């Protein structure tokens, strides 16, 4: 099938809302971190990708779009591998982003920061290799966040790229994708509380899930 849309925005920039929105617009299934936990067997493929042996066709078989981590960590590879895909880069205020990721994705007690040799730990290690080691440092992380956006804008052709805030709703997204906006409200998903509840459920699951 091949990806028609690649999301380059980092986690906690509205990627779960975009994940649902793209499915509503006919660009689903859309890959998101939640898909990895629903299909834990795919972690092995992402571990291979982190070691330079990516099989993108196997990873994204059946998907039309991809947003959030782990895809965002490989945005250069994916935008090159799928040259016809449109690119959506979700953004938000850098300090608000840091507050969110420090309470969720990269919280001190998060799954991502849990050491170990099991498959889940090795999967997250591949992502952590592509973010600053100073996960608790606001300055380092916000600089990384802003540099990431600058790199995407500098790399992707303007006609292929939408820099997008999910609060802007359907109109800019649908105009970019060349389709009519739906009548349904734009989805608003994965609040900080929802994320934390989901993680607590995962933390109670066996390491290979």
Instruction: Measure the CA–CA gap between 159 and 172, rounded to whole angstroms.
Output: 13
All structural domains of the chain, each given as residue ranges with its CATH number in brackets, are 5-203 (3.40.50.300)
Task: Print the SS3 string covering 148-203.
Answer: HHHHHHHHCCHHHEEEECHHHCHHHHHHHHCCCCCCCCCCCCCCHHHHHHHHHHHH
Question: Residue 194: what pLDDT?
Answer: 54
102-107 long-range Cβ contacts below 8 angstroms, 24+ apart: 102/135, 102/136, 102/141, 103/192, 103/196, 104/12, 104/192, 104/195, 104/196, 104/199, 105/11, 105/12, 105/69, 105/195, 106/131, 106/135
Question: Residue 189: what pLDDT?
Answer: 73
Question: Residue 18: what pLDDT?
Answer: 97
Instruction: Measure the CA–CA gap between 144 and 112, rounded to whole angstroms.
Output: 18
Instruction: Measure the CA–CA gap between 208 and 146, rounded to whole angstroms.
Output: 34
Helix (H, G, I), strand (E, B) or coil at 66: strand
Question: Full-prediction pTM beyond 0.75?
Answer: yes
10-residue mean pLDDT series, the chain (209 residues): 94 96 97 94 97 97 98 98 98 97 93 91 96 97 98 98 97 98 88 49 50
Question: Residue 208: what pLDDT?
Answer: 47
Q: Kindly tell me the sign of the dihedral angle through the C-alpha atoms of 92, 97, 99, 100.
A: positive
Alpha helices in the chain (DSSP H): 15-24, 33-38, 43-50, 56-59, 75-81, 94-103, 119-128, 138-155, 170-177, 192-203
């Amino acid at each position: 099938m091949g990806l028609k849309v690649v999301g380059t925005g980092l986690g906690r920039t509205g990627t779960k809302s975009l994940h649902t929105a793209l499915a509503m617009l006919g660009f689903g299934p859309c890959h998101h971190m939640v898909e990895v936990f629903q299909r834990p067997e795919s972690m092995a493929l992402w571990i291979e990708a982190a070691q330079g042996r990516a099989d993108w066709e196997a990873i994204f078989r059946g998907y039309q779009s991809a947003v959030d981590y782990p895809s965002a960590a490989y945005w250069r590879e994916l935008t090159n591998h799928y040259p016809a895909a449109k690119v959506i880069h979700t953004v938000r205020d850098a300090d608000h982003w840091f507050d969110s990721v420090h309470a969720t994705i990269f919280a001190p007690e998060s799954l991502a920061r849990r050491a170990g040799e099991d498959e889940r730990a090795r999967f997250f290690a591949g992502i952590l290799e592509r973010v600053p080691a100073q996960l608790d440092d606001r300055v380092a992380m916000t600089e990384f966040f802003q540099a990431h956006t600058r790199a995407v804008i500098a790399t992707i052709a303007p006609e292929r790229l939408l820099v997008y805030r999910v609060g802007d709703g359907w109109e800019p997204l649908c105009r970019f994708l060349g389709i009519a906006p739906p009548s349904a409200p734009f989805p608003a998903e994965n609040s900080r509380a929802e994320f934390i509840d989901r993680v607590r459920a995962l933390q109670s699951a066996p390491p290979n899930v």
